[in-house]
Amino acid sequence: MTLHPNTSAPAGKSRPVVLQVLPRLVTGGVERGTIEIATALQAFGWKAVVASEGGPMVRELQRVGAEHITLPLASKNPLVLRRNRDALRKVIQEHGVSLVHARSRAPAWSALWAARAEGVPFVTTFHGTYNLGPMALKKRYNRVMAMGDRVIAISEFIRRHILEHYPVSDEVIRVIHRGVDFFRFDPDKVSPERMIALSQRWRLPDGVPVVMLPGRLTRWKGQMLLLEALTHLQDLKVCCVLVGSDQGRDAYRAEVEAEVTRLGLRDRVILADECNDMPAAYMVADVVVSASTDPEAFGRVSAEGQAMGRPVVAPQHGAAPEILVDGKTGWLFIPNNAESLARALRNALSLTAEERAEWAPRAIAHIQANFTTDQMCAKTMAVYRELLPQA
């Protein structure tokens, strides 16, 4: 992030305090967005407070000067929700909280009750479609994410979903796409040594194009769909790397491994597990794939892949059509259609060296113009200022 710090409030004005609430600080897009906004708040001279059950990312908050408060906010137990409401009221009072920003449903209910009781503005970020379920009860549980004084939708796709399913005015919704941190995802900062180390760790074959699907090993991320698509590319040399932890889903991992064997792809597919150097991972890839079978609310893989100058292949649903310019920075394929995915992969793998040289700066420029962390933070700060005009 390139935000310029301003650690003091303007003369005559108190320092605004924003409380963000979420279940825990372990890993994921919700957690990363929380850290990024806390960093921006501190940089702009505001005070960032985050309440969650904790986790390894708490250290990142502390490094930027934000404060973390540990509460059992992952619980959906009604009694715990009420206790959390009371605890959050005390946090608002003791820290002089100006605005509450909720990022997940269970803590959002407690935060809504606390914010209303204390008379402070309440903002939500609608991070996904959430499971509507067969019963109205599930929808009532979800609706708290549409009950903010401002509701941040992380894509136009999510904005349309909110308006279709919840009784909320479009006037309170603000579309703010997630951003790519170009300080981290910068091709020029990835050394050859990092790429070589990763290639050796994964035992990538020399001279064979690499197709990479980053994403935790879970069915809806589309690993099975990509394996089926590879059977339509038997005439091409290609190495497919599935990057992501199974997070305890041993049965699904075994199913993927069995499918690799059944399809005769054992010499073409690598299950790489977790990767702690994703910028280098993107750089060793020739094509980056998002194959999610369910629509992605945003889809960081598509944005990050382009930021690293790589052709991206993604399904034509969810937010992917907002992030990717079909035929210019990547290719869209028919969702859940292996043959369509194979055609898109063939297009990407067929790029000449000259075409790739033109492709990379175009993809990078597209993301820099539309999907950066700094833009996301600035737009979120603007939403806060709508509700705190004196700040």
Please give the span between the terminal C-alpha atoms of the chain, in angstroms, as a whole number: 23
What pTM does this model have?
Answer: 0.91
Report pLDDT for 98.
97
How far apart, in Å, are the Cα atoms of 354 and each of 61, 247, 254, 261, 364?
Answer: 43, 40, 40, 36, 16
Cβ burial 85-99 (10 Å sphere, 16+ → b, else e): bebbbebbeeeebbb
Phi, psi (rounded to 5 degrees) for 20: -100, 140
Cα distance between residue 64 and residue 66, in whole Å: 6
The contacts of residue 158 (CB under 8 Å, 6+ apart) are 126, 127, 128, 129, 175, 297, 298, 319
How far apart, in Å, are the Cα atoms of 2 and each of 28, 148, 181?
Answer: 22, 29, 9
- Pairing outcome for strands 287-289 and 210-214: parallel
Report pLDDT for 1.
57
Report pLDDT for 133.
65
User: Amino acid identity of 39?
Assistant: T
Strand partners, 101: 20, 123
Residues in the chain with pLDDT values less than 70: 1-13, 133-136
Please give the domain boundaries of the chain with CATH numbers for all domains: 17-179+372-387 (3.40.50.2000), 187-370 (3.40.50.2000)
Q: Which residue has the tokens 């009604």?
A: 78
Q: What does the chain come to in residues?
A: 391
Report pLDDT for 140.
87
- 3-state SS, residue 104: coil
65: left (phi over 0), alpha (psi -120 to 50) or beta: left
| pLDDT tens digits for range 90-115 | 999 999 999 999 999 999 999 999 99
Cα distance between residue 13 and residue 89, in whole Å: 23
Cα distance between residue 1 and residue 377, in whole Å: 9
Report pLDDT for 7.
43
Report pLDDT for 135.
58
Closest CA to 287 of 225, 345, 203: 345
Angle at 12 between CA 8 and CA 13, to 5 degrees: 60
**Other CB atoms closer than 10 Å to residue 362's CB: what's the count?**
13
Report pLDDT for 347.
97
Report pLDDT for 8.
46
